[in-house]
Amino acid sequence: MDTKARDRAARLAAAREALGARLAGKRVDTGAIVDLLHAVLRPGDRVCLEGNNQKQADFLAKALVQLDPARIHDLHLVQSVIALPEHLDVFERGIASLLDFSFSGPQGARLAKLLSAGRLRVGAIHTYLELFARYFVDLTPKVSLIAAQAADAHGNLYTGPNTEDTPAIVEATAFSGGIVIAQVNELLPEGGALPRVDVPADWVDMVVLAPTPHFIEPLFTRDPAQISEIQVLMAMMAIKGIYAEYGVQRLNHGIGFDTAAIELLLPTYGESLGLKGKICRHWALNPHPALIPAIEAGWVESVHSFGSELGMEDYLRARSDVFFTGPDGSLRSNRAFCQAAGHYACDLFIGSTLQMDLMGNSSTATLGRIAGFGGAPNMGADARGRRHASPAWLKAGQEARAHQRGAAATPRGRKLVVQMVETFREHMQPAFVETLDAWELQRQAGMDLPPIMIYGDDVTHVLTEEGIANLLLCRDDAEREQAIRGVAGYTAVGLGRDHRAAENLRDRGVIRRPGDLGIDPRLATRNLLAARGMRDLVRASGGLYRPPKRFRNW
Amino acid sequence: MTPMPPGLETLDFRFAGTRAVPSFAPVLVGVVGSGNLEVMLEPGDGADCAVRVQTSARGFAPIWQAVLDDFHRRHGLAGVRVSINDMGATPAVVSLRLDQAVQELRP
């Protein structure tokens, strides 16, 4: 049957009729966008309104909000990130009613309110890879509204460095009888050539010039000036106590100052330990400016990225031997592939959390907000389908299985999943708790499961300023609890430790203090950072890194 | 009574010292700034280690007690007066500053 093809043809014919001369080939007049959406959309359609971690199809989002809810309603939005107010305005206005997504950081509080007011229903909160996977199973978009840097006269698209989710969205839509509409910052005249083609014109139905360039958030920039001595200490422990110990060559870093400190210690502290070439050679990572000194010192062989980072464009171009770039020289990112790389090809994930319980479950979910976790659960989970070996993966697997029997003792490796947290966050909020807020949030929002970011049975190491707890070596849940309490510092959880049990775990190397690792906390100073401020990063890049204005603080 | 800015909490602790410190010049480490603290060590009377904490973060006396218990377990200073001016430093930063101050102790 060809019902999908006929439906698609009917919608495109409706668009031609509604737009008349305002549609030339695939080019839609900017002012005709609302009429176009009215013509191609039907009530109940599944729509992907490209909302990435960074790049936003903001012009198309504004247009979608302007639709007449009497004509277009009950849309089902399927997109990774709910970032813009418009992403929720469409629910408030009755244009959409059902949402499947991955992350809603900035809009988390409003999303929770709309949900409890019954203005929207949530299908599920996914990880990125899960949502992309479902695009090809049962959440295939009928219409996708995407963002690209430029289009040529035929409708070929150049996404620029922030390709992010675009390939996954377009692939699912274009090959299932759906319709792809792209907003672009630049329309090339007839004969004009794109720097490269990221999406072939064949897969794109309409192109519209946006009145302003699409919004991009510089999400991964951390000013080294804000890294604390405690973060330096924890970074030293990570490098010496975990990276060197396991010989970690392939890894992913979560976002934040804790991991920025590690990146900035590689060319200094890491170098002094003789670790260059022995650790941290291959990365699944956004182009963190904090990685520049390590790259310049020759530590890094390759970096594949989920997205790009504002200000890094020229530096990436100049380091095409390290970053994935097109023949044109600019970065090609791809969230789906990088998530797969992080999940299957990396030996270690290290990231932070807001809360961890006594079983090692961790979550950034807080009361009154529905935020999701984006990619952390894919990175911070053992890849059960992995079969290739590496020294780090094998060593972690041996530790995990040494005290197992039967099926659980079958030889296999294990992904290193490290949670790096200071025992107290700002305003003396304890990072270690008896019960995660996630459980209360589950009750409040009527979720099937508590929103746990990383499950305790996936966590291999907990790293705090007090020490490293190696959960792989714990023989039972009671030991695991004492290992976590044993690095939980002066939190109520930490003060509640059994001191004798903690010392026993220390004798067995389950708990290791800075001193046990040969690290003197008094030597953990900011002088160890390869860059101590934004200006140092710019200098390290040879002037190629151009931080956004809000980071130009010198 | 010393007049104090509103909101500050004063806490006093006293530990029986075991390690007498030869006479030394006062030591000052750290700065009073958000999330940070200043620690001063001065020769004190008798064999005790007396600690006075002035902190902008009220209500954490049990945590100060635990942090200072551990500090005293590590160093057991005798005849030393410790003054702490704190603006909401975490226990990790407090312990680090205390250890840095002890490292600076010189006759």
Q: Which two tokens stand for residue A226?
A: 């804000």
Give me the architecture of the B9-103 domain, per CATH.
2-Layer Sandwich (3.30)
Averaged pLDDT of chain A: 96
How many angstroms separate the Cα of A309 from the Cα of each of A218, A275, A290, A324, A366? 6, 28, 11, 14, 27
Q: Which residue has the higher pLDDT, A218 or A131?
A: A131
How many angstroms separate the Cα of A226 from the Cα of each of A257, A382, A541, B35, B68? 8, 32, 20, 12, 27
Tally of CB atoms within 10 A around A158: 24
pLDDT confidence band for A427 (50 / 70 / 90)? confident
Bridge partner residues of A139 (DSSP): none
Tell me which residue of A203, A212, A213 sits closest to A149, measured CA to CA. A213
d(CA A42, CA A101): 21
Tell me which residue of A462, A288, A286 sits closest to A266, measured CA to CA. A288
3-state secondary structure string across A438-506: HHHHHHHHCCCCCCCCECHHHCCEEEECCEEEEHHHCCCHHHHHHHHHCCCCCCHHHHCCCHHHHHHHH
In eight-state DSSP terms, residue A1 is -
d(CA A502, CA A488): 11
Residue B35 clears pLDDT 80, i.e. is over it: yes
Instruction: Look up the pTM and report it.
Output: 0.95
**H/E element, A46:** strand A46-49
> Which of A428, A493, A495 is best to mutate for the B interface (most B CBs within 10 A)?
A428
d(CA A297, CA A223): 20
d(CA A12, CA A364): 43
d(CA A105, CA A111): 10
CB contact under 8 A, A423 and B63: no
A123 Cβ neighbours under 8 A, 6+ residues apart: A76, A98, A99, A100, A139
Closest partner residue to A490 (CB to CB) among B57, B88, B91 is B91
Give mean pLDDT, residues A99-109.
92
Give mean pLDDT, residues A94-109.
93
Bridge partner residues of A207 (DSSP): A27, A182
In eight-state DSSP terms, residue A270 is I
Chain A to chain B Cβ contacts (< 8 Å): 39
Q: Which two tokens stand for residue A266?
A: 């590689």
**Contact B91/A at CB under 8 A:** yes
**Cα A416 from chain centroid (whole Å):** 18
d(CA A341, CA A320): 19
Tell me which residue of A210, A217, A153, A155 sits closest to A183, measured CA to CA. A210
Tell me which residue of A224, A240, A221, A341 sits closest to A282, measured CA to CA. A341
d(CA A481, CA A104): 32
Give the model's pLDDT for residue B1. 47
User: For residue B67, which residues of chain A lie inside 8 Å, CB to CB?
Assistant: 490
User: For residue A521, which residues of chain B lie inside 8 Å, CB to CB?
Assistant: 96, 99
Share of chain A above pLDDT 70, in %: 100
Give the model's pLDDT for residue A219. 87
CB contact under 8 A, A465 and B99: no
Tell me which residue of B16, B36, B14, B17 sits closest to B86, measured CA to CA. B36
Q: Chain B, 2-31: which have a CB under 8 Å from a chain A CB?
A: none
Give mean pLDDT, residues A315-323.
98
**Contact B73/A at CB under 8 A:** no
CA-CA-CA-CA torsion sign (A283, A288, A292, A294): negative
Q: How many residues does this entry show for chain A? A: 554
CB contact under 8 A, A490 and B67: yes
Task: Give the pLDDT confidence of A228-254 residue by residue, as tens digits.
Answer: 999 999 999 999 999 999 999 999 999
CB contact under 8 A, B96 and A424: no
Closest partner residue to B90 (CB to CB) among A424, A522, A524 is A424
B29 Cβ neighbours under 8 A, 6+ residues apart: B38, B39, B97, B100, B101, B104
Tally of CB atoms within 10 A around A139: 20
User: For residue A522, which residues of chain B lie inside 8 Å, CB to CB?
Assistant: 96, 99-100, 103
CB contact under 8 A, A428 and B90: yes
Q: How many residues does this entry show for chain B? A: 107
User: For residue B60, which residues of chain A lie inside 8 Å, CB to CB?
Assistant: 428
Give mean pLDDT, residues A450-476.
97
Give mean pLDDT, residues A458-462.
98
d(CA A372, CA A354): 13
pLDDT confidence band for A364 (50 / 70 / 90)? confident
Task: Give the pLDDT confidence of A269-312 residue by residue, as tens digits.
Answer: 999 999 999 999 999 999 999 999 999 999 999 999 999 999 99
Tell me which residue of A145, A142, A221, A135 sits closest to A181, measured CA to CA. A145
Residue B4 clears pLDDT 70, i.e. is over it: no
Q: Which two tokens stand for residue A113?
A: 């309110």
Q: Which residue has the higher pLDDT, A446 or A481?
A: A481
Residue of chain A nearest B60, judged by CA positions: A428
d(CA B23, CA A89): 70
Q: Which two tokens stand for residue B60?
A: 């954490």
Residue A49 clears pLDDT 60, i.e. is over it: yes
Sheet holding A461-464, edge to edge: A302-304, A282-284, A250-253, A348-351, A416-420, A461-464, A467-470, A511-512
Task: Give the pLDDT confidence of A155-164 residue by residue, as tens digits.
Answer: 999 999 999 9
**Contact B103/A at CB under 8 A:** yes
Q: Which residue has the higher pLDDT, A481 or A448?
A: A481
B15, B51 Cβ separation under 8 angstroms: yes
pLDDT confidence band for A3 (50 / 70 / 90)? very high
Q: Is A147 helix (H, G, I), strand (E, B) or coil?
A: strand
CB contact under 8 A, A423 and B90: yes
**Contact B61/A at CB under 8 A:** no
